[in-house]
């Protein structure tokens, strides 16, 4: 997936300006400490950052795009531009592509993940963004709907508060940025564990990532996921699942899922994707 030198997980802001993928659970702090947004700004180059904001998931893209533009400009970014894409044809726009060729960070806002994928999937613009992310040339962040689209398989909708069952979740194709993952957001805030488990029942080869509000799972190039923010990141590993009744029961009937591995990570924790295990935070002696 991603390859780079291993760094201390103690402080994401203090590590370096190496690029990363920031998968944000939504409702990130935009007013006070702005820790997650500051981390994205820093990983995009800080005062040298040239940032592209894609608000296409939102029903009010101009308003939400302007808000993030103001935030990153206040932080001191060198240049910030809103790519207000409202039609798939704009995904082939030469001007937009030129800006993406030159930027150091791309930020996808919240809204409707189906709308976002409908506008961006398989467009030249998205292909260029994916290429630059994979090469480690830019940082990419997505919040809420912008987080949901990161995987190959995407949770497009569904319910909560029930036992896991196939009717509980609606799946679609994502943007394939981190194909190994199925991401759910606003996770504990909206009681979405059963929804994520329902998604994994049909795709046990994937890693389920549930991200709380004002929380970020930051995918580093060294194969670590680092947790930033106030809540938790839930990782459900079904790759050693020994049994599920998923093929045998009706869509509305409860699912059996045996031998799943569950990890709950908080601020400062990391998860090693190569070793499939968490890395505890380093205590700060001060």
Positive or negative CA dihedral for 56, 58, 60, 62? negative
Determine the pLDDT at residue 176.
Answer: 97
- The CA distances from residue 86 to 3, 96, 117, 126, in Å, are 34, 13, 12, 14
166-172 mean pLDDT:
97
* pLDDT of 33 strictly over 60: yes
Query: Is residue 188 annotated as part of the catalytic site, yes or no?
Result: no
Determine the pLDDT at residue 161.
Answer: 84
Determine the pLDDT at residue 266.
Answer: 97
Residue-wise pLDDT for 178-197, tens only, equals 999 999 999 999 999 999 99
* pLDDT of 12 strictly over 50: no
Q: How far apart are CA 175 and CA 105, in angstroms?
A: 17
Residue 139: name the closest of 178, 101, 107 by CA: 107
Determine the pLDDT at residue 5.
Answer: 34
The phi and psi torsions of 113 (rounded to 5 degrees) equal -65, -30
Within 10 A of 12 (CB to CB), how many other CB atoms are there? 27
Burial annotation 38-57 (CB, 10 A radius, 16+ → b, else e): bbbbbbbbeeebbbbbbbbb
Residue with tokens 């206040």: 74
37-55 mean pLDDT:
98
42-49 mean pLDDT:
97
**Which helix (H) or strand (E) element contains residue 126?**
helix 124-134
Query: Is residue 144 annotated as part of the catalytic site, yes or no?
Result: yes
Q: Which of 162, 170, 180, 253 is catalytic?
A: 162
282 — pLDDT class (breaks 50, 70, 90): low
Q: How far apart are CA 103 and CA 132, in angstroms?
A: 10
53-65 mean pLDDT:
98
Residue-wise pLDDT for 77-113, tens only, equals 999 999 999 999 999 999 999 999 999 999 999 999 9
Residue-wise pLDDT for 65-80, tens only, equals 999 999 999 999 999 9
206-227 mean pLDDT:
97
Contact 221, 2 (CB under 8 A): yes
Radius of gyration over alpha carbons of the chain, in Å? Answer: 18
Query: Is residue 205 annotated as part of the catalytic site, yes or no?
Result: no
* pLDDT of 211 strictly over 50: yes
123-133 mean pLDDT:
98
252-262 mean pLDDT:
97
2-18 mean pLDDT:
45
Q: Which of 58, 139, 186, 270 is catalytic?
A: 186
**Per-chain mean pLDDT for the chain:** 93
CATH 3.90.550.10 fits 17-269, yes or no: no
Q: How far apart are CA 252 and CA 269, in angstroms?
A: 36
* pLDDT of 3 strictly over 80: no
Q: CA-based angle 128:25:136, to the nearest 5?
A: 30
Taking the whole predicted model, whether its pTM rises above 0.85 is answered as yes
Q: Which of 56, 144, 201, 270 is catalytic?
A: 144
Q: Which residues pair with 266 in a beta bridge?
A: none
Strands 79-82 and 50-54: parallel
């Amino acid at each position: 997936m991603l390859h780079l030198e291993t760094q201390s997980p103690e402080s994401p802001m203090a590590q370096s300006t190496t690029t990363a993928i920031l998968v944000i659970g939504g409702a990130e702090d935009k007013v006070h400490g702005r820790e997650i947004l500051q981390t994205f700004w820093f990983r995009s180059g800080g005062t040298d950052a040239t940032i592209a904001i894609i608000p296409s998931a939102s029903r009010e893209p101009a308003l939400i795009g302007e808000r993030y533009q103001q935030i990153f400009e206040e932080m001191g970014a060198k240049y910030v531009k809103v790519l207000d894409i409202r039609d798939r044809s704009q995904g082939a726009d030469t001007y937009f592509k030129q800006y993406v060729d030159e930027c150091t960070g791309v930020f996808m806002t919240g809204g409707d993940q189906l709308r976002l994928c409908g506008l961006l999937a398989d467009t030249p613009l998205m292909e260029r963004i994916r290429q630059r992310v994979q090469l480690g040339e830019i940082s990419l962040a997505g919040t809420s709907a912008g987080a949901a689209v990161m995987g190959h398989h995407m949770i497009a909708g569904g319910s909560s508060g029930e036992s896991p069952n196939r009717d509980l979740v609606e799946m679609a194709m994502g943007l394939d940025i981190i194909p190994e993952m199925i991401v759910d957001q606003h996770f504990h805030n909206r009681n979405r564990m059963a929804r994520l488990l329902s998604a994994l029942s049909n795709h046990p080869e994937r890693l389920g990532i549930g991200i709380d509000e004002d929380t970020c799972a930051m995918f580093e190039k060294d194969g670590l996921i680092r947790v930033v923010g106030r809540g938790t990141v839930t990782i459900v590993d079904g790759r050693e699942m020994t049994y599920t009744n998923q093929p045998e029961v009706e869509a509305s009937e409860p699912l059996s899922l045996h031998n799943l591995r569950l990890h709950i990570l908080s601020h400062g924790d990391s998860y090693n994707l190569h070793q499939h295990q968490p890395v505890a935070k380093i205590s700060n002696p001060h």
